[in-house]
Amino acid sequence: MSLKQSILLLFMLLLIGLNANAQSVNNNTNARLHGIQYRQPRGLDGSPFLSNDWLETKITLYNEEIAEGVLTKFDCLNNDLVFYHNTLKNLFIIDKSTVDTFTIHKNNQQLNFIKYKGTTVGYKFKMMILFTLHTQEKTIY
Amino acid sequence: MILKHKFLHTNLFILSLFLISAGQLYAQPKLFVQTSKNFYVSGEEVDYKCTLINPDSSELYILHSDICGEEKLITSQLLNASNNVWKGTMALPDTLQTGVYLLRCYIGDQIGKPIIATQLISVLNRFNNNSVNELRKKKTDYFPLDGRGYIKTEVQDLLQITPKQVRIKANNTLELSIRSEIDHIAGDLSLSVYKVDESVQHVNTNNLQPYSENDNIHIYNSLVLSGRLIDINAETPATKQTILLSSPDSLANLNYAYTDSLGEFKFHFNKLSGTQDIIIQTLNQQQEYAIELNPAFLPPPSIIPYYIPDDVENSEFCQLAIMRATVHQAFSKDSIVSSSILNNRYPFYGKTLNRIYPDKFIPLDDFAEISWEILPLVRYKYSKDSTYLRIWDTESNTVFNNPWALVDGIPVFDLASLNVLNSEKINWIEIQTQSRCYGDVAINGLISIQTKVGNFTELEMPKNAIRHKMQTFYQAKQKIEKAGTIFSDVLYWNPSINMANNSTNVSIKTSYEKGTYAAVAQTYDQQGKLYQTVSLIKVE
C-alpha cells in the first residue's frame, strides 16, 4: 500500500466516521391527491385545456406535502387542474381546497399558478397576480 | 525505507481510528432532565424541563416522556418539536403506590435509537397505600432513597443566587437576585424554589437500566402509529394490504397505509393533540386478520432497586406533605384542557349538498325504511342472506353498486349492521353521488350517517378492526389561578428565566407553610456541563 493509498484510506475512514449517524429514518409519505372524477364536457367545440399534452407538474398541497411529476392538464374553461391517477388509471379534478400552488413544466418553461379566494376559489397564473398587485387595479382577496 | 513507510501507515491508521472515535464522541448528543422538586405525593403534578445538547442534526425533535414503575408505565406524554428545550407537566395518579419511580425523557436519534435522560422521583401515597414499598424494604438488593433534600453539587462561582433575606416570614415576598457568568448557556436557566429537609443532601446516583433492552425498539422523531397485520388462518404476516384509520367525528377523516413485506404498517401525523379515539381496520374484508399495534413508548425498566425507608415515610416532612396535598386537591380548581386540532375543514369524501335530517320526518324504525322513505338516490335492501346498498349518480346516469358507508366517520363494510339505525338514533345522513379519489382509494358513491351519540357506539366493532386510544402531542393546560395558594411546597418554578445582561431579579410569594426552602438554579453549557447553585431560605 503506497502513501497515497494510505492517505486516501484515512480520508475514507474519516468520511465513514462523520457520516456514521447520517442515515435517517424516512418519515415522508407520498403526497396524496384528492379529487372528483373528470368528465369530458358535452357540446364543446375545441379543447378546454391550456395545453393538449400531458405536462409534468409539481403540486404543493396545504398540508405542506409536495407531489412531483404528476401528469396534468389545466382546464382554462372551468379553472380546474385535471390529473391522471396512475394507480386508479383514471382522470380526476384535484380538490381546490387541498392545493396551495402548482407549477407546470412546459418545454423548459415553468408556469407558476397560485390559488386565490374571491367570490369563487380558483387558480391564477402568478404573473397576472403580480401585474394586478403592481397596477393596484383590483383587490385580491 | 520500507520499515519507515510501514510505520507511517500504521500511525496513519491509528490516527484515523482516533479521529473517527473523537468525532463521534464530540457529536454525541446529550439529554438532561430537571424537575421542580424531587419528592411528590400521589395526585400531584410533576413539572419538568428537558434540554438537548449537541443535537446530531438541525431538525427539530419531539420528546417522549413518561413515569415508570417496575415493568409498568404509569403515565406518558409527547411534547412537540421544540428548539431543543421542552417543558411539560405530568400528573401522578391518586392511586399511585408509595415508592420510587423513574422519570424518563427521550428522543429518537437519526437511526431511531433512544437518547435518554432519567431522574428518580419519590412518591408518597396520600391514602397510605404502600404495600409495594413495604415488600421492597425486605429485599437485600434494593437501596433506601431519601428524596426530601436537594442534589449536592460542587460550589460554582459562575452562577450565583443571592437572596435579599435568608429568613423570611410566611405569606411574604422573597426577593432573589441571580447572576450568571457562564459563556454560551445551552437551553436557558431554570429556577425552582421548593421545600426541603436541609439535613438531607444526596448525589444523583441514577445508574439503573432505564428500559428493558429489545432489538425492535425504534423511537421515531414524528408522531407515528405503527403495527403489524397477521393473517389469522395462515398465521403469517399479511402483505400489501390497505389499513384504514379513522376516528369517530362528525367531520369524517380517513387515513390509510399499506402493509410491507413483513406485514408492518405505519401512520404519520402532524398536528394531533390530546388523546385520540381511533379505529383501525383492513379494507379487505374477505380474510380474517389480527391487527397488532407497536407501543409508542419505551418498555418500562424491569427493576428500580430503591425504596423509601421507614424514617422518611414517618417523618414530619412527609406527613405535612400528605396533609398539604390533600388540602391542595380539595381546594384547587380544575384545569381546562384545550380541544384537539382538526386536520381538515371538509370531510374526506368532499362537500355534498345532500344532507337529510330524519328528525324532520315521521319516525322510521330501521335503516331500510329510512332509505326507502326519505333518502333520495339511495336504495338499501336488507335481508338475512344478502343486503345491498346502491346510490344513483344522476349526472352520469349510473348506479354505484358498492358505495362506501360511514357511521360517525368510521367505514362500515358490513352493510347488514346498518339496519339497526333508526330515526331516533340518526342525527343526519349525507349522500355523496360522485366518483372520487382519496389518494389511492377510489370512492364510488358514499353514504355518511352521523348518529346522535356520535362516538360509534350504536354499531358493533367492524370485522378486522380494533379501537385504540392514541396518545398524541401534549397540549399545555390552561391553569386557573385562585387568589393565591395558601400552602405550597414549590414556591416558584420557571424553566426558562430571562437572563438579559447576565443577571435578573425574581420576586416570590412565600406560602403559609413554614420550613426550609432551597432555591435551585440550574443550567448547562454547550459541552453539557451542569452548573447548579443552591441557596437555602428559612420561612418562619
- Dump the DSSP string for B80-91: EEESSEEEEEEE
To the nearest whole angstrom, how far is the Cα of B403 from the nearest Cα of chain A? 15
Region of poorest pLDDT, from A45-49, B236-240, B447-451, B482-486: B482-486
**Average pLDDT for residues A99-124, to the nearest whole number?**
82
CA atoms of B274 and B80, how far apart (whole Å): 12
Check CB contact of A96 with chain B, cutoff 8 Å: no
Highest mean pLDDT among B206-215, B405-414, B523-532: B405-414
What does residue B60 show for φ and ψ, rounded to 5 degrees? -85, 145
**Average pLDDT for residues B100-124, to the nearest whole number?**
89
Question: Which residues on B lie below 8 Å from A59 (Cβ)?
Answer: none
Region of poorest pLDDT, from A6-15, B268-277, B377-386, B407-416: A6-15
Handedness of CA A19, B23, B181, B187 (dihedral sign): positive
- What's the complex ipTM? 0.72
Q: Please indicate whether residue B467 or residue A26 has the higher confidence score (pLDDT).
A: B467
pLDDT at B337 over 50: no
Residue B4 confidence class, pLDDT cut points 50, 70, 90: low
Scanning chain A, the segments in alpha helix (DSSP H) are 3-18, 126-135
**Strand ranges of the sheet holding B159-163, from the earlier edge strand across to the other edge:** B159-163, B173-180, B503-509
CA atoms of B374 and B294, how far apart (whole Å): 44
> In this structure, are residues B133 and B143 in contact, taking their beta carbons and an 8 Å threshold?
no
Strands B465-471 and B114-124, bridge-based pairing: unpaired
pLDDT at B47 over 80: yes
| Per-residue model confidence (pLDDT) at position A121 | 73
DSSP character for B273? B
Residue A3 confidence class, pLDDT cut points 50, 70, 90: low
What does residue B27 show for φ and ψ, rounded to 5 degrees? -80, -5
Question: Which residues on B lie below 8 Å from A82 (Cβ)?
Answer: none
Could you identify the residue written with the cell 382577496?
A141
Contact B350 A36 (CB under 8 A): yes
Nearest to residue B56, comparing CAs of B34, B31, B32? Answer: B31
CA distances from A68 to A108, B278, B329 (A): 16, 31, 56
Handedness of CA B273, B275, B277, B279 (dihedral sign): positive
Residues 6 or more apart whose CB falls under 8 angstroms from that of B38 comprise B119, B120, B121, B122, B147, B148, B149, B150, B151
Pick from A9, A29, A37: CB nearest B435: A37
Could you identify the residue written with the cell 399479511?
B238
- What mean pLDDT value characterizes chain A? 74
Question: Which residues on B lie below 8 Å from A34 (Cβ)?
Answer: 348, 350, 436-439
Q: Please indicate whether residue B12 or residue B35 has the higher confidence score (pLDDT).
A: B35
Percent residues over pLDDT 90 in chain A? 28
- What mean pLDDT value characterizes chain B? 84
pTM: 0.74
Count contacts between A and B (CB, < 8 Å).
96
Per residue in B14-24, pLDDT (tens digit) is 555 555 444 44
| Residue from A13, A59, A92 to probe the interface with B (highest B Cβ count within 10 Å) | A13
